[in-house]
Chains A and B, each alone.
Chain A
Amino acid sequence: MRSDLNLMLAGFGGQGLLFAGKVTAYAGLMEGREISWLPSYGPEMRGGTANCSVCVSDNPIGSPLILNPNALIAMNLPSFDKFIDTVVPGGTVLVDSTMVEKTTERTDINVFYVPATKMADDNGIKGLANIILLGKLFKEMQFCSFEALMKGLEKCVPASKAAMLESNKKALQLGMDF
């Protein structure tokens, strides 16, 4: 049986965390797995911290609220501080090191510091640090097939913004190559 993915994505509203979560969820759906996607909502979405829990499993999902993720994408300092100690031992953590200068002292988790925001800016795909980090997460965890991930991405980029699909694919590749 494939292992469950319990992914927490956290950062500022506007960094595309909910979108990256949706791509992950759709990738799981493409493989016929059980999934849930739960956003934080309310005033914090407007400029404060936003986060999103995504579960991908072969079993029906009980509580969709992830308290102890086995994967964390942290895109700002408050999120890093809030969630780094909640990750289960052996979990995988992706930190946007352009936004978070800190490192963790934990040695029981796999942490990758990716300057995703800078990479996005340097490559002319400003605003796609979220997808760069997702690409890196995919490379490290292989939580679905590459085909499913691409299909998930295609499902999430609306037809009216088809031009964005290529830059999203470029972002994924940048993350996977990091």
Chain B
Amino acid sequence: MAEKVLMKGNEALAEAAICAGCHHFFGYPITPQTELAAYMAKKMPKIGGTYLQAESELASINMVLGAAAAGVRTMTSTSSPGLSLMTEGISYIAGCDLPCLIVNVQRGGPGLGGIQPSQADYYQATKATGHGDFQLIVLAPSTVQEMVDMVFLAFELGEKYRMPAMLFSDGLLGQMMEPVELPEPGTVKVSDKPWAVTGHNNERTHNIVNSLYLEPDLLEKTVRARYERYAQCQATEQRCEELMVDDADIVLVAYGASSRVCRSAVVEARAQGIKVGMIRPITVWPFPVDAIKKAAGHAKAFLTVEMSMGQMVDDVRLALDGARPTYFYGRTGGMIPSPAEVLEEIKKIQEGI
């Protein structure tokens, strides 16, 4: 077992991506993901990789498209306003069925917003990252170790389903340091990419990477085929952590940084004799619908906690389909809820059930 080291989430993620065989990084600087790009800038030249600071986020994401089309593991990282600029390119990448890694270290919005941690890009990540019918695989780490582990998962799932994958982080996880164990080099699973546009000395027919289909019936057929893969992904890749859910009357649903706050609140509530648990989505797309439905079998109420005005709570409501009352508590604009605030909400719900 490798020795644990202290690393910032952003740096650990960058190192993990290199370990995962991603040697092509394109980006444009923005707080609070800066350390990630800085780490890449320092490391990539030493290993013969590419670190390219493009002229804009638009350029970065299209460079990612090009590298992904050539079949290499590639990524970009940004924070909320930068992600908005990338959405056109992300739609093109999805339309080309290309795998890649997109990191969003979220900050407060809308507009330039602020630079403190936020989770207000949930709708953007899971519902409408760009124009057209498409989805991303969206993974939500809650620790620095998960920032590392999920990089590997993101590349693997992205290649398996030929989808872009997003690591959905935030300023708190990006900036904090925790002990982390980095993977041993050489343990990478990279899948074959027979579709990649690479040189082949006329030994096979040309591969074409494209998202333009002028015949609507052909485009519909392509989109439908893509949605069959999405359905398979939804059926097999839902991931979440369950914390004391089995006997819980109230189930909290929270991901990423806010799940850490909720963890503290759950422990405190239990110490006070309140039966509370937490479902922490690890994949926010595909959303862990099955775990929510299962918990609804015995739980009396659900409380979704987010660093937003309430976005994931819609997915919780959809999963519950009216079976149980669903409450919401959130802070936004870069404010982080305190465990005491969440405990207060839990107690209010406890009185009503």
Which of A9-17, A58-66, A97-105 forms part of the interface with chain B? A58-66
B115 at the A interface (CB under 8 A): yes
B176 touching A64, Cβ below 8 Å: yes
Query: Provided the pairs A22-B6, A62-B339, A63-B338 are in contact, do residues A29 and B179 lie with their beta carbons within 8 angstroms?
Result: yes
Please, what's the 1-or-0 string for A38-70, where 1 marks a CB less than 8 Å from any CB in chain B?
Answer: 110110000000000000000111111101000
Q: How far is the CA of A36 from the CA of B338 in the complex (A)?
A: 16
User: CA of A108 to CA of B234 in the docked complex: distance in angstroms?
Assistant: 55
B282 at the interface (CB under 8 A from A): no
| Known contacts A35-B179, A38-B175, A39-B175; is-contact A67 B116 (Cβ 8 Å) | no
Among A29, A36, A41, A67, chain B packs the most CB atoms within 10 A around the CB of A41
CB neighbours (8 Å) of A22 from chain B are: 6, 177
**Which residues of A lie under 8 Å from residue B336 when comparing CB positions?**
63, 65
In chain B, positions 315-340 with a C-beta closer than 8 Å to chain A are 336, 338-340
Name the residue on B nearest A156 (C-beta). B6
Distance of A39 Cα from B172 Cα, bound (Å): 9
Q: A26 on the interface (CB 8 Å rule)?
A: yes
In the bound complex, residues from chain A placing their C-beta under 8 Å from that of B263 are 60, 62-63
Chain B residues near A42: list those with CB within 8 A. Answer: 31-32, 115-116
Contact with A along B248-282 (1 / 0, CB 8 A): 00000000000011111101000000000000000
A114 contacts chain B at the CB level, 8 A cutoff: no
Q: Please report the C-alpha to C-alpha distance between residue A65 and residue B265 in the assembled complex, in whole angstroms.
A: 13
For B4, B6, B116, B263, the residue with the greatest tally of chain A CB atoms inside 10 Å of its CB is B6
B81 in the interface (beta carbon within 8 A): no
A37 interface neighbour in B6, B31, B32, B171, Cβ under 8 Å: B6
Q: Is A25 an interface residue (CB 8 A)?
A: yes
> Number of A residues whose C-beta is below 8 Å from B?
21
Q: Which of B4, B116, B171, B267 contacts A29 (CB 8 A)?
A: B4
A26, A34, A38, A62: the one within 8 Å of B264 (CB): A62
**B178 interface residue (CB < 8 Å to A):** yes
Interface residues of A in 22-36 (CB under 8 A from B): 22, 25-26, 29, 34-36
User: Of A35, A41, A62, A65, which contacts B178 at CB under 8 A?
Assistant: A35
Q: Which residues of B157-188 have CB atoms within 8 Å of chain A's CB atoms?
A: 171-172, 175-179
A42 to B4 alpha-carbon distance, docked (Å): 28
Given contacts A36-B176, A37-B176, A37-B178, contact A63 B264 (CB under 8 A): yes
Alpha-carbon distance A146/B81, docked complex (angstroms) = 46
Known A26-B6, A29-B4, A41-B32: A62·B175 in contact at CB below 8 Å:
no
Closest chain B CB from A27 CB (angstroms): 11
Partner of A64 from the list B116, B171, B260 (CB cut-off 8 Å) is B260
Q: How far is it, in angstroms, between the C-alpha of A151 and the C-alpha of B298 when the chains are bound? A: 49
A29 and B6 within 8 A (CB): yes
A84-135: which residues lie under 8 A (CB-CB) from chain B? none
Contact for B172 among A26, A35, A65, A67, CB less than 8 A: A65
CA distance A39 to B9 in the complex (A): 12
Tell me the A131-158 residues at the B interface (CB within 8 Å): 155
Q: Please, how many angstroms separate the alpha-carbon atoms of A168 and B267 in the complex?
A: 38
CB-based closest 6 A-B pairs:
A62-B264, A62-B263, A37-B177, A38-B176, A63-B261, A42-B115
Given A37-B6, A63-B264, 8 other A-B contacts at CB below 8 A?
A22-B6, A26-B6, A29-B179, A35-B178, A36-B176, A60-B263, A62-B262, A63-B338
Provide a sorted-by-A list of 26 A–B residue pairs whose CB atoms are within 8 angstroms: A29-B6, A29-B179, A36-B177, A36-B178, A37-B6, A37-B177, A38-B176, A38-B177, A39-B175, A41-B31, A41-B115, A42-B115, A42-B116, A59-B267, A60-B263, A61-B178, A62-B260, A62-B264, A62-B267, A63-B260, A63-B264, A63-B339, A65-B172, A67-B338, A67-B340, A155-B6
